[in-house]
A and B are shown apart, each in its own frame.
Chain A
Amino acid sequence: MALLEVNDINVYYGSIHAIKSVSFEVNEGEIISLIGANGAGKSTILKTISGLLRSNTGSIVFDGKDISQVPAHKIVYLGLAQCCEGRRIFQQMTVLENLEMGAYSQPDTTIKKNLEMVFERFPRLKERRRQIAGTLSGGEQQMLAMGRAMMSNPKILLLDEPSMGLSPILVDEIFDIIKTLNRDGTTILLVEQNAQKALKITDRGYVLETGRIVKSAKGKELLDDDDVKKAYLGG
């Protein structure tokens, strides 16, 4: 059984039908990518899974439990963490406080252990733990956002545009980190406009067009797919 099963969800913004009967699944240990143009509905899908938006139909089954009606603040307790688009760190709190908030759902005893784990993965956050998060560089803020999400020990991590606004070197670094997290046991659901990079590390990918899944295949196959190449990979 899949770790995350999205069945036939439909999401509306007012009268706009943003997500149209989308279904897909993520198996344990996989890296799954949703790719598509700006406005295709990628972020909307992630927000619906994490409970910030609601689908009128269908179900979202995570780890054997239908979470489609569970309030957003309870979902992280089940082992699903999301890194929002635009990082969304708490700008006026310190790096350490941000990480502590990431572990809000965890008992006090595990916070210390998780903190060590995150500092080991992101040594730069350790150096800057007393710094106000808003003063970090873009790359550091992305690391903080990911570190914060990892503080809840998630089974699955939803990443929304982690490479947005970062320099090419940092983008490589972020994708390396995603691979390592996955190798160490975290299932990843990745939303990216940088389809090239995303598909290279992806087990399976789904292509989204105006709220509908139009194609799904192994990451490598999508990289070689003519339509995908034309639309998202620059030729």
Chain B
Amino acid sequence: MAFLSYLINGMGLGSVYAIIALGYTMVYGIAKMLNFAHGDVIMIGAYTAFYCLTVFKFSTFTSILIAVLLCTVLGILIERFAYKPLRKASSLSVLITAIGVSYFLQNLAQILFGTNPKVFPELMRNSTFSLFDGQLTLSYKTLLTIIVCILIMILLTIFVNKTKTGKAMRACSQDKEAAQLMGINVDNTISITFALGSGLAAIAAVLLCMTYSTFTPTLGSMPGIKAFTAAVFGGIGSIPGAFVGGLLLGIIETLTKAYLSTQLSDAIVFMVLIIVLLIRPTGLLGKKVHEKV
């Protein structure tokens, strides 16, 4: 029964990774770049929600909504001013810029919000419920996180497969020139992708802070790197891959902490990634890219 409890908690953690990983994977799919500032968008989302809740005393729903909107705008601005001018530059320049944006946001947050840790207010009474005559105890938070993640996955899958904008996103990720010839505005489509990923980052931020309530301006770094790992693990560029990768990573991490070692859990997580990439370089659900000759 303990195993089942670890498994479900792992899925909860993995759901947060999955939501963050979606941002990495969608942006990679369309802009073919790794947006290393993505983790720091999460951090900005956390601070926004925090100030909305504590200083402005907004309701939980309003606070989350404002955080989502602000991160969406932030994502669009980052793309517009940091990455768009580099559309024709080498991928190395873009990568270095992304790392620069990441440090910029972290330092900006240190100036604006200070380096002292903040404590995120309790959004849900930490109530738990028991199943199987009290043998399995789960928290509502974990359950909520998993449900939110599944909902996001369903909505995103519908968006990408059924709507005109979603299909245009897929077209752009496959062939930008051909997409332009169809009348698709590639720049706008890339903006929409950044907006979506960053909005999701804000949701991830709130879910993250509900579980780990203390946070600092470097909040986004570790979940960011782990979610990036999850995206690569599942196959970067693939939306279902981000979901599967995120969940698996969360489960592996939690089980490692429970049965092997708390200190070594991150090392083991990254080792699993290396092994997966050795066996399947394109990730679990990654597509083989056929290079045109």
User: Which A residues have a C-beta under 8 Å from some C-beta of B?
Assistant: 50-52, 71-74, 76-77, 81-82, 84, 86, 88-93, 97, 100-102, 104-105, 148, 152
Contacts and interface: CB of A to CB of B under 8 A. Distances in A.
A90 B178 contact: yes
Contacts of A74: 183
List the 7 closest pairs (A to B, CB-CB), nearest first.
A105-B183, A88-B178, A76-B183, A72-B180, A104-B182, A104-B183, A73-B180
B71 to A, nearest CB: 27
B175 A101 contact: no
B177 to A, nearest CB: 6
Contacts of B177: 52, 84, 88
B181 interface: yes
B170 interface: yes
A84 B179 CA distance: 11
A133 to B, nearest CB: 10
Main secondary structure of the interface of B (DSSP, over half): helix
A77 B182 CA distance: 9
B184 A101 contact: yes
- Size range of the chain B interface in the assembly: 20 to 34
B185 interface: yes
A163 B183 CA distance: 25
Contact of B186 (A73, A84, A152): A73
Contact of A105 (B171, B174, B182, B292): B182
B180 A84 contact: no
Given A73-B186, A90-B175, A104-B164, A84 B170 contact: no
A180 to B, nearest CB: 22
A131 to B, nearest CB: 16
Contacts of A90: 170-171, 174-175, 178
Nearest to A100: B167
Given A82-B181, A93-B170, 14 more contacts: A52-B177, A73-B180, A73-B181, A73-B182, A73-B184, A74-B183, A84-B181, A88-B175, A91-B174, A101-B179, A104-B182, A105-B182, A105-B183, A148-B182
B248 interface: no
Nearest to A51: B180
A93 B171 contact: yes
B174 A73 contact: no
Nearest to B177: A52
A199 B182 CA distance: 28
Contacts of A51: 180
A73 B175 contact: no
A52 to B, nearest CB: 6
